[in-house]
Amino acid sequence: MELLEGLLTRRSVRQFDASKSISQADLEEIIKAAQYAPSAHNKQPWEFLILTDKEKMSALRHVQPWTSFAKDAAAVILVCGNTEESFSRHKEDETWNYSDIDCALAAENLLLAAHSKGIGACFCGAAPMPKVIAGLQEMFTLPDYIRPLSIVILGYPKEEPKQPIDRFKQEKIHWEKW
C-alpha cells in the first residue's frame, strides 16, 4: 500500500472477525513501525503491552468504558510511556513531559502499519484521563512511571468502515497569517 493512500484510507475499526488471530510476526512488525516514530530528543520512551487473552481484553471496559468492542478483538496493544525516560523538565518555573506526545506519534504509526497489513485497529484513549491511567496501572501492575497513553484494539475487520467524504477542510489552512 502506498503511504499517502494508507494515510487517507485508515479508519477506526470496531467490528472484528472474532475467529481470526494476528500472527506474532505481524504484531512485532506493527510495533516495529511504532518504534520508528519521531520522539522528543529521540528518547523513544515507549513500551508496548500486548494482550491476546479474551478475558483480559473484555475486562478493559471496566476501566475505559469505550473499549467494550475489545471483547471480539484479536489483540490489544497498550501503548505506554516511560515518564522517567521521556524528555521532560521539572523546574520551579516550568514542568513538562513529552511522554504522551511521543506515544501518540508511535500509536499513529502502529495504526497505519496495521492498516497496511489489512488489520483493523482503533485508538482508544487512556492518558490524560487520571482514572483510566490508574485503572490500567492497577489492572496490569504497571510501575507508576509507566503511563498508558492508548489502548489500541486490533483485529481483522468484519466489515469495511465507511470513508468520510468531507474530511479535507480548506478553511482550516491559514496561509502566512491567521
Which residues contribute to the site for ligand FMN (CB under 6 A)? Answer: 11-12, 14, 66-67, 122-125
Least gap, CB of 25 to ligand FMN (angstroms): 25
Please report how close the Cβ of residue 37 comes to ligand FMN at its closest, in angstroms. 15
Distance in Å, CB of 175 to ligand FMN, minimum: 26
Nearer to ligand FMN, 9 or 23 (CB): 9
C-alpha cell at 74: 484479536
Cβ-based nearer residue to ligand FMN, 14 or 147: 14
Minimum CB separation from ligand FMN for residue 107, in Å? 8
**Neighbour count for residue 3 (Cβ, 10 Å):** 9
Give 43 or 61: the residue with its C-beta nearer to ligand FMN: 61
**Cβ proximity to ligand FMN, 123 vs 145, nearer residue:** 123
